[in-house]
Chain A
Amino acid sequence: MSDIRFTDQHEWVRVDGDIATIGITDYAQEQLGDVVFVELPEVGKDIAAGDEAAVVESVKAASEVYSPVSGEVIDVNSDIEKTPAGVNEDAMGDGWFVKLRLTDPSELDKLMDETAYNEFVESLQ
């Protein structure tokens, strides 16, 4: 059973047990344009909510991806390091960035659910 939550900075976090998978939303990849570089953290690193979890660069600019939750990095998506365009192709799925082992599941309560995020994106357009 998984649950997906969103930040107002256009990151998503999908939770399965105590494992959180983090990526950027489809809206975010569209705003960025063609992703040409992704930098991911080391496995084993502790990341606090709001810290930089990854860096994603388009032809135009670099952007930080902030972690919506706190935890230890247990896996990174090396496929998107090799093929950054994967972020554009499937931002919400195969284009994920990192997996964390959650240290404080209550942080999820501060994030938007899918309905709230979709409304938020609509308000931006």
Chain B
Amino acid sequence: MSEAAVQTEILKTTPLHALHVELGAKMVPFAGYDMPVQYPDGVLSEHLHTRAAAGLFDVSHMGQAYLVGPDHASVCAAIEALVPGDILGLEPTAIRYTLLLNDKGGIRDDLMVTRTAKDGTLFLVVNAACKDADFAHIAGHLPKGIELHRLEDRALIALQGPKAAAVFARFAPGAAAQDFMTGLEMTVAGIPCLVSRSGYTGEDGYEISVPEAEAVALTKKLLAEPEVKPIGLGARDSLRLEAGLCLYGHDIDETTTPVEGALTWTISKRRREEGNFPGAKIILDQIASGVTRKRVGLLPEGKAPAREGTEITDASGRKIGVVTSGGYGPSVGGPIAMGYVETAHAKAGTGVELMVRGKGRPAKVVAMPFVEKRFHKPGK
């Protein structure tokens, strides 16, 4: 059997680290942190539990910050100079998924931006591996009067799954009626938190920014509920892949644009018309004239998973792309993948071959997600 190399770097820990160890987690290095990849139940069971009930994830390694200015318009002008999303148009408490871009239109990171209830304050959540670079980049591009405040003393925990709302309502009655993709300040089990109704699993749920001193107590309270189990990074990855969501550094990076990454939907009409985001000329040209490659979903016809890096070919064996995320989808009950293919092969239904261990294996380009999204809808 082949084995992974031994890691020797000094790793950071989250406020929940001791709890993970106590719960029997297998800890692995991830983005400079010692993180739980799975608990004793294992990835498969954790994944299925999240889809059936509720899973609790420690995502405290992610970067949290407030971007603060005198009013909404000025703080939006500052962030919109760096991202293509419509932040100005957010209603108070609304959240938007957007992208930090480089000057070539490549993606520096993907992030969530919340217009908080307080005028002139945006709440940002960025990826762990990118957070130092992201925050330095943002801070380095702010006009006078706009400030970035990193929140180093806050943990971030996610509660995801069809039972998440029922469980969470026991601690925060106001959260049940909260709309999807909104972020509200509220008291959770007596602790002041910023609660976002959002997630990375394709399920309904919450992401809870909690003072680090209270993080263990809140996590233990949630885990004590019968529907809730702790979920590691392994299942987090298979859940987000089934939901068709990008993993930064794999499915999108500095060399892929939002158009290639099938994320053109994140660029609003106003932002396209204004054309004042980094790499706008390249991106707008791609929207108008098309791109040579696109991110697509891939469904292998056999049972063999196609992992990241797997070559994609056409029927004649010519290379037309590469898998950027792939593995086994526990809820799908078989292998799933996403990757980039030449645009001529990007249409759903197109047959391709995945070169796994030297053999071409048939697969189809498919629309994502691989599982139905079950987000909270207003009035439900």
Contacts and interface: CB of A to CB of B under 8 A. Distances in A.
B44 A59 contact: yes
Interface string B1-27: 111000000000000000000000000
Interface string A59-99: 11111111000000000000000000000000000000000
B274 to A, nearest CB: 43
A34 B38 CA distance: 11
Contacts of B42: 33-34
A34 B44 contact: yes
Given A34-B44, A60-B234, A60-B327, A55 B357 contact: yes
B238 to A, nearest CB: 6
B303 interface: yes
Contact of A57 (B3, B45, B238, B328): B328
B297 interface: no
Dominant SS among interface residues on chain A: strand
A28 B38 contact: no
B1 A9 contact: yes
Contacts of A60: 37, 43, 234, 327
B43 A34 contact: yes
Interface size on A, as a range, is 20 to 34
A59 B43 contact: yes
B115 interface: no
B38 A33 contact: yes
Interface string A5-25: 000011100000000000010
B294 interface: no
Contacts of B38: 33
Contacts of B44: 33-34, 36, 59
A37 interface: yes
B47 interface: yes
Contacts of B3: 9
Given A37-B328, A37-B335, A66 B43 contact: no
A30 B43 CA distance: 12
B169 interface: no
List the 4 closest A-B pairs by CB distance, nearest first: A34-B44, A36-B328, A59-B43, A9-B1
Interface of A: 9-11, 24, 28, 33-34, 36-37, 39, 55-66
Interface of B: 1-3, 37-38, 42-45, 47, 234-235, 238, 303-305, 307, 327-328, 330, 335, 357
25 contacts: A9-B2, A10-B1, A11-B1, A24-B1, A28-B1, A33-B38, A33-B43, A33-B234, A34-B45, A36-B44, A36-B330, A37-B303, A39-B304, A59-B43, A59-B235, A59-B327, A59-B330, A60-B37, A60-B234, A61-B307, A62-B305, A63-B1, A63-B2, A64-B2, A65-B1
